[in-house]
Structure 1
């Protein structure tokens, strides 16, 4: 059994109080799906999906769907994959030595400006 579950553009972490099916339904709710759509995806009845969502609400102590998603995000149970991707890209840009992807700090030598200046010097020397 994996520690993370993905549904659409959302990712959830198991082992923090919710069962796997409850977390899957929670991720689908966060993605904006209705009970009927989730039931068609899982091959279950809409009533059983509603029961799983209500069980997740009870475990997190909330009673409305928007509050369920907000509380799950606050507790770190779910997160949008966009945030994960942004964190990976930021980490790569900080640790990279590549001039095009690295974040430059003030006062660092900028290679592009140096090259442009040298081309200008060469043009003046030829003329």
Structure 2
């Protein structure tokens, strides 16, 4: 299966959307405007709008946030963070060395201090 990436998003081809429609959908999911996508692809913003509207029609939605949500629900697109999580889970299942977090000295104390200050400010406001 082939994939298209845009920023931190990844989409799979062959599930109903053309490559250019999927590319525009990924850019919308990444938060880009029609003008930004048009500059990237060397097209007019109207062409980009047409591609996005075509993807909306194919998925049966009428708003851009609904388009991204429906594409995620159908498995057409996914954030790359999910791929990273899958790699880390596979790494831990395979029995490799543990991944540990190295804390800077005093980091935990700073967090506790912030919690206490917030609690104190909540009591003074009441």
Q: Cα offset for 1:96? A: 2.0
Please give the secondary structure, in 2, of the residue aligned with 1:15.
coil
Name which one, 1 or 2, has greater alpha-carbon Rg. Answer: 1
- 4+ residue segments displaced more than 6 Å: none
* Matching of residue 31 in structure 1 with residue 30 in structure 2: yes
Give TM-score scaled by structure 2 length. Answer: 0.76
Tell me which residue corresponds to 1:43. Answer: 42
Q: Cα offset for 1:91? A: 1.0
Aligned length: 100
Q: Cα offset for 1:97? A: 3.9
Q: Cα offset for 1:101? A: 3.8
Q: Cα offset for 1:94? A: 1.4
* Matching of residue 84 in structure 1 with residue 88 in structure 2: no
Post-superposition CA distance 1:12-37 (Å, at most 9, x none) = 00000000000000000000000000
Unaligned stretches of 5+ in structure 2?
101-126
Partners in 2 of 1:31 and 1:101 — Cα distance?
29
Post-superposition CA distance 1:73-117 (Å, at most 9, x none) = 00000000001101111111111243x349xxxxxxxxxxxxxxx
Give TM-score scaled by structure 1 length. Answer: 0.76
Unaligned stretches of 5+ in structure 1?
103-127
Partners in 1 of 2:96 and 2:59 — Cα distance?
44
Partners in 1 of 2:7 and 2:16 — Cα distance?
22
